């Protein structure tokens, strides 16, 4: 690391931070059932739609 980061820079960044939740996902036993890919695609469509509307910031 070559950049020096000051305490003030850290405080300024922390002051603008927003809380968020993180979820770790893994495939379940029904992942290969008929129609699973279509369900996943519609879920992704909904998540991207929410992001486009500004409801969520991170996918």
Angstrom distance (rounded) from CA 15 to CA 11: 6
pLDDT digits (tens, 9 = 90+) for 1-59: 689 999 999 999 999 988 888 889 899 999 999 999 999 999 999 999 999 999 988 87
Q: Which helix (H) or strand (E) holds 40?
A: helix 36-52
Angstrom distance (rounded) from CA 37 to CA 41: 6
pLDDT at 1: 65
Instruction: Give pTM, 2 decimals.
Output: 0.58
């Amino acid at each position: 690391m070559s950049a020096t980061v000051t305490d003030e820079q850290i405080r300024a960044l922390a002051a603008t931070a927003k809380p968020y939740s993180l979820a770790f996902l893994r495939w379940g036993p029904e992942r290969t059932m008929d129609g699973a890919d279509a369900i996943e695609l519609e879920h992704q469509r909904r998540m991207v739609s929410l992001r486009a509307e500004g409801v969520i910031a991170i996918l």
